[in-house]
Amino acid sequence: MYNEKVIDHFNHPRNVGELSDADGIGETGSFKCGDTMKLYIKVKDDRIEDVSFQTYGCGAAIASSSMLTEMVKGKKLDEAMQITNQDVADQLGGLPPLKLHCSNLAADALHNAIEDYRRKHDQV
Amino acid sequence: MQSRLVYMDHGATTPVRKEVVDSMLPFFHDQYGNPSSLHAPGRKVRQALDEARETTARALGADPEEIYFTSGGTESNNIALRGAAKKQKGGGHIITSSIEHHAVLDVCRDLENEGFKVTYLPVDHYGCIEPEMVKEAINKDTFIISIMAANNEIGTLQPISEIALLAREHGILFHTDAVQVVGQLPVDLHSSNIDFLSLSAHKFNGPKGIGALFMRKGVEINSLYRGGSQERKLRPGTENVPGIIGLGRALELAVSDIPHKKKRLESLRDSLIAGLLQIDDVVLNGHPRQRLPGNINVSFKYIEGESVLLGLDMEGIAASSGSACSSGSLEPSHVLSATGLDHSIAHGSVRFSLGWGNCKEDVDFVLQKAPLIVERLRNISPTYHSR
Ligand SMILES: Cc1ncc(COP(=O)(O)O)c(C=O)c1O
Ligand SMILES: [Zn+2]
C-alpha cells in the first residue's frame, strides 16, 4: 500500500520529540480520523534552525510529519509558509488516495508553528 | 529481511487446506459437466453436488433440502433478509443489532429506505445483546429478527438460542449471520429455532466466493433473482461446482476438528491476551470468556491501530484494526463505537485472529515484538507524553 520512502520514514522517523526551547509550536488534528500532529520549531535569523515533531496517527501521518521536518530545516520562514500538504505528499513519492487527508496535517501544523512564533515575536 | 510469516488474520480469511484443494481439482478439468445436463458427464457432477449438499447438511445438523449454495456470507445475508422482506409486501418491522457486519447492517438500512421499520439493538460494553431487549423491541409488525452468532471484530458470542426461541414463540422468523462461527464452534440446526443461517467457506479453510444459506423447511421467502431453477430458484445460475465441493470438504474437516481445535485456540488466545495486557495501558475489547476461540481484540492507548499494523507487518505479523485510518471509510469501527468505547481508544484497536496453523511460537513471537512496536509509537505520540 505504501511506497518504500513512506515506509522508510515510518520505520526511521526523523526529528522525533519535543524541542524544550522551541520558539514556536503548532498543533493540528483531523476531526475525522483522530490523527494529531504537534510541530516544534527553533528560529534563528528568520530561518528554521531546528524542528521536531510528535504525531498520533497512522503510517501516512507519521511519515508525512517526518518528511516535513526534513523539508523545512534551514528554510526561511516565508519559504516554509509556502509549503503545501501536496508538496509533502509529493516529496514522499505519493500516498494512497484515501490516506491523503492524513498527510494533510503536516503543512498545517508547520504553518501554525510559524504563526505561533510570529505572534510571540510580534511579527504578525 | 524478515523470514517468518505469522498470519493472525483468520477472521478476514483463511488458507485453503490441501485436502480441500485436492477435492476440488477434478471438477475443473475431468468432471466439467453441467449438473443440470441429462447426459452422463452432467449426471456425474450432479451426484457429487448432491453429496456435497449432504455433507454440508450433516455438519450443521440440517437436511440437504435446507441448504442453498450461494457466493458467500454477503449473498446469504442478502437472500435471507431481502427475500423475507420481499415476501412481506407493504412494509413491516425488522429487529437487528448495531454491531452486525455491513452485509446485514447495510441491507437493513436499504430496507428502511424502502419503507420498512428497523430496530438496531444496542449492546453492552462487552458487545453482548440482551435477549430481554429483543423481547421489548418486538411489535405486531415484526416479521424477522437477525442477530449475528459471533461478532467478527471483537468475537463476542451472542445468546442466539434464547433469541431464536423468543422469535419462535412470537411467530417471527430468525436469521443469524454465523459466518464467524461455522467451523469454529458446533452448530446443530435441528435442535435450534433458527430459520436462516449464513455461512462462508473462506472462513473455515475453504475457497473464497462460495457460501451457503440454511433455510428451514416450510419457511418461504421470495427469490431476489430470476433465471434457471438451480438452488430451488433462490440462487439461480449454473453452480460453482468446484467451490461447492470445496465447501463441503472444508466444512466436514473443520467440524470434525472442532473438539481439539477449539481447546487449542482458546488456550493460545488466552495466553496472547494475558501477554498483551502485560503492556501498560492496553484494554481488552469484547468479552473475556464469551468470545470466539481464536479472537483477540485489544486497544493500545495513545497510539493508532493502523500504525501498529504497519509495525507488525514489518515483523511479518499479519493482523487487522478497527481504526478509522485502516477502515477505508475513515470511520472508526461501528462495533467498537457501539460498545461505548471512547473514539481515541477505538482508534488504537488491533484484532489478532488465530486459526489452524498458529502455534505457541507464533504467540511468543507476537508477544516479543508487540511491546517494542508499541513503545516506539508511543514515543512519537504527543498524547502519550501529555497523558
Ligand atoms: C460476520 C460476517 N458476515 C459476513 C461476512 C461476509 O462474508 P463473505 O466475504 O463470504 O461475503 C463476513 C466476512 O468478512 C463476516 O465476518
Ligand atoms: Zn491517518
Query: Are residues B251 and B264 both part of a single domain?
Result: no
Catalytic residue among A39, A41, A102, A113: A102
Of B16, B74, B175, B297, the one to substitute when testing ligand 1's pocket (max ligand atoms within 8 A of C-beta) is B74
The answer to whether the beta carbons of residues A98 and B328 sit under 8 Å apart is: yes
pLDDT, residue A82, reads 95
Distance, CA B179 to ligand 1 centroid (Å)? 6
Q: Which atom of ligand 1 lies nearest, measured to the CA of B209?
A: 10
Query: Are residues B199 and B281 both part of a single domain?
Result: no
The answer for residues whose C-beta is within 8 angstroms of residue B178's C-beta and 6 or more apart is: B148, B149, B150, B187, B197, B198, B199
Ligand closest to B330 (CA) is 2
CB contact under 8 A, B383 and A57: no
Distance, CA B365 to ligand 1 centroid (Å)? 28
Encode pLDDT of A94-104 as tens digits: 998 888 888 88
Identity (one letter) of the amino acid at B246? G
Query: Are residues B85 and B37 both part of a single domain?
Result: yes
The answer for residues whose C-beta is within 8 angstroms of residue B4's C-beta and 6 or more apart is: B316, B365
For every residue of chain B, which 3-state class applies, written as one string?
Answer: CCCCCEECECCCCCCCCHHHHHHHCHHHHCCCCCCCCCCHHHHHHHHHHHHHHHHHHHHHCCCHHHEEEECCHHHHHHHHHHHHHHHHCCCCEEEEECCCCHHHHHHHHHHHHCCCEEEEECCCCCCCCCHHHHHHHCCCCEEEEECCCECCCCCEECCHHHHHHHHHHCCCEEEEECCCCECCECCCCCCCCCCEEEEEHHHCCCCCCCEEEEECCCCCCCCCCCCCCHHHHCCCCCCCHHHHHHHHHHHHHHHHHHHHHHHHHHHHHHHHHHHHHCCCCEEECCCCCCECCCEEEEEECCCCHHHHHHHHHHCCEECECCCHHHHCCCCCCHHHHHCCCCHHHHCCEEEEECCCCCCHHHHHHHHHHHHHHHHHHHHHCHHHHCC
Name residue, grid cell 498527510: A103
A16: chain B residues, CB-CB within 8 Å: 379-380
Total domains in the fold of chain B: 2
CA–CA distance, B353 with B7 (Å, rounded to integer): 8
Boundary residue ending a domain (B215, B234, B256) = B256
Query: Are residues B241 and B97 both part of a single domain?
Result: yes
Chain A CB within 8 Å of residue B381 CB:
yes
Alpha carbon distances (Å) from B356 to B6, B9, B240, B244, B294:
12, 11, 25, 21, 9
Boundary residue ending a domain (B233, B256, B279) = B256
Query: Are residues B244 and B265 both part of a single domain?
Result: no
Q: Can you give the pTM of this predicted structure? A: 0.95
Average pLDDT over residues A66-89: 95
CB contact under 8 A, A37 and B382: yes
Chain B CB within 8 Å of residue A109 CB:
no
Tell whether B171 is covered by a domain: yes
Query: Are residues B250 and B281 both part of a single domain?
Result: no
pLDDT, residue A123, reads 62
Indicate the residue of B330, B343, B381 with minimum beta-carbon distance to A54: B381
Indicate the residue of A33, A37, A38 with minimum beta-carbon distance to B325: A33
CA–CA distance, B260 with B200 (Å, rounded to integer): 22
pLDDT, residue B325, reads 80
B225-230: Cβ within 8 A, 24+ apart: B228/B36, B230/B36
Question: How do the pLDDT tens digits run along chain B, 387 residues long?
Answer: 557 899 999 999 999 999 999 999 999 999 999 999 999 999 999 999 999 999 999 999 999 999 999 999 999 999 999 999 999 987 999 999 999 999 999 999 999 999 999 999 999 999 999 999 999 999 999 999 999 999 999 999 999 999 999 999 999 999 999 999 999 999 999 999 999 999 999 999 999 999 999 999 999 999 999 999 999 999 999 999 999 999 999 999 999 999 999 999 999 999 999 999 999 999 999 999 999 999 999 999 999 999 999 999 999 999 999 887 877 677 789 999 999 999 889 999 999 999 989 999 999 999 999 999 999 999 999 999 988
pLDDT, residue B2, reads 55
Question: What is the maximum alpha-carbon separation in chain A?
Answer: 44
Residue in A closest to B324 by C-alpha: A33
For every residue of B149-185, which 3-state class applies, written as one string?
Answer: CECCCCCEECCHHHHHHHHHHCCCEEEEECCCCECCE
The answer to whether the beta carbons of residues B209 and B71 sit under 8 Å apart is: yes
Q: Which atom of ligand 1 lies nearest, measured to the CA of B77?
A: 4
Tell whether B7 is covered by a domain: no
Query: What angle separates helix B360-380 from helix B305-314, to the nearest 10 degrees?
Result: 130
The answer to whether the beta carbons of residues B137 and B95 sit under 8 Å apart is: yes
pLDDT, residue A34, reads 83
- CATH 3.90.1010.10: does it fit domain A4-120? yes
What CATH number did the domain enclosing B248 receive?
3.40.640.10
Give B 273-332 residues with CB within 8 A of chain A: 302-304, 306-307, 310, 314, 323-326, 328, 330, 332
Query: Are residues B33 and B45 both part of a single domain?
Result: yes
Which residues neighbour ligand 2 (ion) by CB within 5 Å? A 33, 35, 57-58, 61, 102; B 325
The answer to whether the beta carbons of residues B125 and B101 sit under 8 Å apart is: no
CA–CA distance, B141 with B265 (Å, rounded to integer): 42
Residue in B closest to A66 by C-alpha: B380
How are beta strands B211-215 and B282-284 bridged, if at all? unpaired
Give A 13-52 residues with CB within 8 A of chain B: 13, 16, 18, 27, 32-38
Domain containing residue B358: 258-385
Query: Are residues B342 and B206 both part of a single domain?
Result: no
CB contact under 8 A, A59 and B302: no
Tell whether B299 is covered by a domain: yes
* Collapsed DSSP state (helix, strand, coil) of residue A76: strand
Query: Are residues B63 and B132 both part of a single domain?
Result: yes
Indicate the residue of B314, B323, B382 with minimum beta-carbon distance to A54: B382
Query: Are residues B68 and B196 both part of a single domain?
Result: yes
Q: Is B359 annotated in the active site?
A: no
CB contact under 8 A, B310 and A57: no
Q: Please list the residues that pair with B256 across neighbouring strands.
A: none
pLDDT, residue B125, reads 97
Boundary residue ending a domain (B229, B256, B283) = B256
Residue B4 to chain A, least CA–CA distance (Å): 19
CA–CA distance, A119 with A113 (Å, rounded to integer): 10
Angle ∠(B60,B106,B310) on CA atoms, nearest 5:
85
String of b and e for B345-377 (b: at least 16 CB within 10 Å)? bbbbbbbbbbbbebeeebbebbbebbbebbebb
B306: chain A residues, CB-CB within 8 Å: 58-59
Pocket lined around ligand 1, Cβ cut-off 6 Å = B 72-74, 101, 103, 148, 152, 177, 179-180, 200, 211
pLDDT-derived band at A124, boundaries 50, 70, 90: low
CA–CA distance, B387 with A37 (Å, rounded to integer): 15
What is the interface pTM, i.e. ipTM, of the complex?
0.94
CB contact under 8 A, B310 and A61: no
Ligand closest to A60 (CA) is 2
Boundaries of every domain in chain A: 4-120
| Residue B386: other Cβ atoms inside 10 A | 10
pLDDT, residue A15, reads 97
pLDDT-derived band at A30, boundaries 50, 70, 90: confident
Is the pLDDT reported for residue A4 higher than 80?
yes
* Collapsed DSSP state (helix, strand, coil) of residue A104: helix
Indicate the residue of B323, B380, B383 with minimum beta-carbon distance to A62: B380
Tell whether B1 is covered by a domain: no
CA–CA distance, A40 with A23 (Å, rounded to integer): 8
Chain B CB within 8 Å of residue A98 CB:
yes
The answer to whether the beta carbons of residues B82 and B235 sit under 8 Å apart is: no
CA–CA distance, A60 with B80 (Å, rounded to integer): 40
